[in-house]
A and B are shown apart, each in its own frame.
Chain A
Amino acid sequence: MTEIRNYTMNFGPQHPAAHGVLRLVLEMDGEVIQRVDPHIGLLHRATEKLAESKPYNQSIGYMDRLDYVSMMCNEHAYVRAIERLLRVEVPIRAQYIRTMFDELTRILNHLLWLGAHALDVGAMTVFLYCFREREDLMDCYEAASGARLHATYYRPGGVYRDLPNQMPKYEPSKWHSQADVDRMNEARQGSLLDFVWDFTNRFPACVDEYETLLTDNRIWKQRTVGIGVVSDERALQLGFTGPMLRGSGVEWDLRKKQPYAAYDQMDFDIPVGKNGDSYDRYLVRIEEMRQSNKIIRQCVNWLREHEGPVVSENHKVTPPGRGDMKGDMESLIHHFKLFTEGYCITAGETYAAVEAPKGEFGVYMISDGANKPYRVKIRAPGFAHLSALDEMSRGHMLADLVAIIGTQDIVFGEIDR
């Protein structure tokens, strides 16, 4: 009789299904996984250490680069920690703008997740459809902040600037005739809010479109139903948050339970799964996109009716207006101090968390009274999720591992930090 032994296999770090730079050392029994040992840290940039070496405001941009598909949610956690330590009040309009952009970000993230997950499992078309809608959302980012991805839009005390009254428009080129451009610019005639409103009108039909491709698709169900099952008890033990936890049937959402920004004013539901498998997590995220759409519409309605400041008037923390600096000595000094030394925060510590699209994204910040944070710890949801990969994929086939990585919504920017 021949001796049968397990063998060790290397997966990644350069692999299209590894969602970045994930290296897995797999112990296989034939095609069945016995053990998974993820090697992470290939994208480690020591964001937390870098943040300790700079004034508070200069690290906002680093937060975008953590989970680089849900940029503004990361900024939100960071600025919330600073605001709490500083005891700065954020104007109500800024709170609504943040709520709106958090939800746009959630859709942005879930679209990338859905496209990539479906692509991993073998459905090509969904990816293309998802990126069509992502393009519009990134245009919203661009109109508000000037950058399509790394926005640095949230600032301690509010947001960088108010929403623009016009959208950037396409221009005719070799590839797009005047007629094409006119059609593409149709929704862009009004303000950003009009464009977002138009998007929310179109978007539910788009979600239906994705669902026709996947929800009742036989292949999709074969690849996701009963794959990576996690019970509610285990999900808590494994530190799951966000859709991963809700997929296992635990009704927990920081937006409802510990509301921040303007979420206490919003009317929305929390979708919860039943079986805790990949398919349930898919359904949860699809429904979250619909709920986000609903929240965005409420925000747009409010923002249309209410004018007001979008950033705190406390010029120790936020820059004074350009015009003021020309004539007012104190404004000039404030500006100079803010951009050279920054501001000092009274010694203390806080943990601020937001419901990021992937789960609870938290920033633990210790201040020792200086102009730089003493310690910043970023609690990334993906880190806890990936650590459960071993438990989730034991006994599954190698091909299911790809589906499990997909369902975890892994992004290495936040895991490796």
Chain B
Amino acid sequence: MASSEVLLAQAEKQFGESLLETQTLFNELTLIIERASVLAVCQELRDNPVFGFEQLIDLCGVDYSDYGRTEADSNPPEQRYAVVYHLLSIKNNHRIRLRVFLDNDEPLVASVMQVWRVADWFEREAFDLFGILFEGHPDLRRILTDYGFIGHPFRKDFPLSGHVEMRYDPDKGRVVYQPVSIEPRTLVPKVIREEPR
């Protein structure tokens, strides 16, 4: 496996201004890139033989609104949503992670479907669960949640028990939705320890 330093040097040379920040942890390189340049960077990462990332292994949304906080806060960070891409190069046997932060009121980013076809369902999933919009995606429908589902369940402000529950109504002779009857509860509170070990 190529070391992350080599990749990092290449990325810094190639991407310049669209590269906002880089992190290396456990020999895994993360590039934090500007939202507008996602498509160009991905294209370059795939086609430039130095990178050679011919596979998009994973694409997922992240909601950073409770990050590092033990209790919900009414002031979410300026850019609470992010899309994280995991790329793999089979030719060069290395991996890279990209992260793009998105605006709160309109989390919109370019679709990378034209770069990697597999992004199709991953982007639909991120839209379904986080409400992130992918510009240029031809068929941005919900994928995992129920038909007619309201809301984006993996956002941190969506309760674990959900908003509605389903039951069979014998009078109406069909399945009905109603507000949930279970109280949300926390079994183990979240704690953050400065000196974990």
Q: Which residues of A contact B (CB under 8 A)?
A: 40-41, 44, 46, 48-50, 53-55, 58, 84, 86, 236-239, 241, 250, 252, 257-258, 316, 340-351, 353, 360, 362, 364, 366, 368-372, 374-375, 377, 379, 383-384, 386-388, 391, 416-417
Contact = CB atoms under 8 A, between A and B. Distances in A.
Contact of A84 (B26, B120, B197): B26
Contacts of A86: 197
Contacts of B67: 368, 374
Interface in B5-26: 25-26
Given A44-B144, A258-B93, 9 more contacts: A41-B143, A41-B144, A41-B145, A86-B197, A340-B188, A348-B25, A349-B25, A350-B28, A379-B86
Nearest to A351: B86
A40 B144 contact: yes
A375 B193 contact: no
B55 to A, nearest CB: 5
Nearest to A417: B144
A239 B190 contact: no
Across the A-B interface, give the 3 residue pairs with the lowest CB-CB distance, nearest first: A239-B118, A41-B144, A344-B196
A344 B30 CA distance: 23
Nearest to A375: B62
B174 to A, nearest CB: 18
A347 B23 CA distance: 13
B197 A53 contact: no
Interface string B110-146: 0000001110111000000000000000000011111
Contacts of B122: 383
B188 A55 contact: yes
A369 B196 contact: yes
Size bracket, chain B contacts: 35 or more
5 contacts: A239-B55, A341-B188, A351-B58, A369-B68, A371-B188
Contacts of B68: 347, 368-369
A25 to B, nearest CB: 12
B13 to A, nearest CB: 24
A258 B1 contact: yes
Given A316-B197, A344-B193, A383-B121, A370 B188 contact: no
Nearest to A49: B154
B153 interface: yes
B97 interface: yes
Contacts of A366: 62
Nearest to B197: A316
Contacts of A44: 144-145
B45 interface: no
A374 B194 CA distance: 16
Nearest to A372: B190
A345 B58 CA distance: 23
B41 to A, nearest CB: 18
Contact of B191 (A237, A349, A371, A416): A371
Contact of B26 (A342, A350, A375): A350
A387 B121 contact: yes
Interface in B147-195: 153-154, 160, 186-188, 190-194
Contacts of A345: 196
Contacts of A236: 54-55, 90
A369 B193 contact: yes
Nearest to B124: A387
Nearest to A383: B121
B95 interface: yes
B60 interface: yes
B74 interface: no
B25 A350 contact: yes
Contact of A416 (B66, B93, B144, B194): B144
B172 to A, nearest CB: 23
Contacts of A362: 57-58, 86
B160 A364 contact: no
Nearest to B188: A55
Contacts of B102: none
Contacts of B193: 344, 369, 371
B60 A377 contact: yes
B108 interface: no
Interface string B52-73: 0011111010110011101000
Given A84-B26, A350-B28, A364-B60, A49 B160 contact: yes
Of listed B55, B116, B120, residue having the most chain A CB within 10 A: B55
B84 interface: yes
Contacts of B145: 41, 44
Contact of A257 (B93, B97, B143, B154): B93
Contacts of A370: 70, 190-192
Given A84-B26, A372-B190, A364 B58 contact: yes
Contacts of A417: 144
B56 A239 contact: yes
Contacts of B97: 351
Contacts of B90: 236, 250, 252
